[in-house]
Amino acid sequence: MSQLSLNLIAVSVFVMTMSALLGPLIDLSPVVPAIATASILGLAAIDTFNWQGRGSTILLDGLAGFSAEHRDRVLRHEAGHFLVAHRLHIPVTDYTLSAWESFRRGQAGQGGVQFNTQELDAELQQGSLSAQLLDRYCTIWMAGSAAEHLTYGNVQGGADDFQKLRMILSRLQFSPAAIQQKERWSALQAKTLLQDHWETYEALIAAMQRRAPVEECLQILESSASESIGRSREQ
């Protein structure tokens, strides 16, 4: 059950308790809190069993979206994933910046950058994963948090990214200590890539902020890479 659904149930219990205590004092009909409680519990049940918690995700993300800082954090977080994935040659297929955008495109979760994971899935199905591919994906998963930390000095998002990384490493029988070491190493790699391509990163942010298509974002990254190669040859 989603956190919001649990919160709704807690609210309904609180409403019933307070109505029982204060109802007689303010001449409140017991029908009012009963209807309110039934409505809240009904919404929680529908969200949990019919929508798999997506309604609560959209609601919570929408409320957070009123904050300009939250929107900027999400944008910079996802742009970090996008740039690092491109630099590590993992194809980006799509991106969304809110739960509502994700819902409209038939995707689960709060939104984010979508990758072509065929190579990763194929190796995992065989029960093994090359060290090179593992390093690339771990760095990509840590890139959003690295981007936040470089910009704000702290990290608020990325829980799903950490979960993916830890799930894969646990599946590959990494010890808890080894998982922590891989997280730190991947975060450092992502941070270095972002710092080395910061101008490109800012250009990508501007494109994603206006919801530019993936193809246009890739053109920005490719153009920047070509300019960097040109400058290197001139030197």
Give CA–CA dist 231/227, Å, rounded: 6
What pLDDT sits at residue 42? 58
What pLDDT sits at residue 105? 75
What pLDDT sits at residue 18? 61
What pLDDT sits at residue 15? 60
> What is the rounded (10 degree) CA torsion for 24, 26, 31, 36?
-120
> Nearest to residue 142, comparing CAs of 118, 169, 161?
161
What pLDDT sits at residue 10? 59
What pLDDT sits at residue 17? 66
What pLDDT sits at residue 83? 97
What pLDDT sits at residue 133? 95
Amino acid at the residue 99:
A
Low-confidence residues in the chain, pLDDT < 50: 1-5, 47, 49, 51-53, 55-56, 58, 60-63, 65, 229-230, 232-233, 235
pLDDT digits (tens, 9 = 90+) for 17-33: 666 656 566 665 666 56
Q: Answer for the pair 137, 84: CB distance below 8 angstroms, yes or no.
A: no
Give CA–CA dist 176/195, Å, rounded: 29
What pLDDT sits at residue 80? 97
DSSP state of 212: -
Give CA–CA dist 61/214, Å, rounded: 23
Q: Could you tell me which residues are beta bridge partners of residue 113? A: 95
What pLDDT sits at residue 44? 54
Q: Taking the CA atoms of the chain, what radius of gyration do you get in angstroms?
A: 22
Name the pTM for this structure: 0.72
Q: Which two tokens stand for residue 235?
A: 């030197």
